[in-house]
Structure 1
Amino acid sequence: MRPNHGYQLMQAITDVSNGRVQMGPGTLYGVLSRMQKDGLISLADDDGRRKTYEITQDGEQALRIEYRRLQALIEDSKILEAGDEHE
């Protein structure tokens, strides 16, 4: 994953979610600040106008854990859908 600045991240969030999630600057910078405090991202560059963030090893590990958790939810939903077919 390459470093991104806030505006790039807002665009990426909208693109990846197919427009379902649109994050405004106030929300985004609050989340970025929290993630930085938690050690999930770090400041890669600050030219005075924009800050560029990159994911840390801890952040990448947390991302992989969350990805596996979401995959498990999808698998669980398949079981529920199969159960609905038998009713």
Structure 2
Amino acid sequence: MADKTKAITSAALASALSLGLAAAARAQVHVEKPTYTFEKCYGVAKASKNDCYTSTHSCGGVSKVDGDKASWIYVPKGACEKIVGGKLSEEK
């Protein structure tokens, strides 16, 4: 009986882990560069809406907080500094 319980527990744990990994993989996004003239605008992306990698993660769509100073989005050239909090380079 103990072996059966151990097997069920192991299967449940494996299922939970694989679902978590699948959700994380789905959340990561590779965003294509825009066709318009663009610049990277740091500090204005909503949580999980950043366009690409930062110093803390390697994919788009994975920032954890709104306005993360390391996360950026593509905006039309000249628009970033018109946005409150928008910076053309990552603040360190």
TM-score by length of 2: 0.28
Which structure: greater strand fraction?
A: 1
Computing the radius of gyration over CA atoms, which structure comes out larger, 1 or 2?
2
TM-score by length of 1: 0.30
Which structure: greater helix fraction?
A: 1
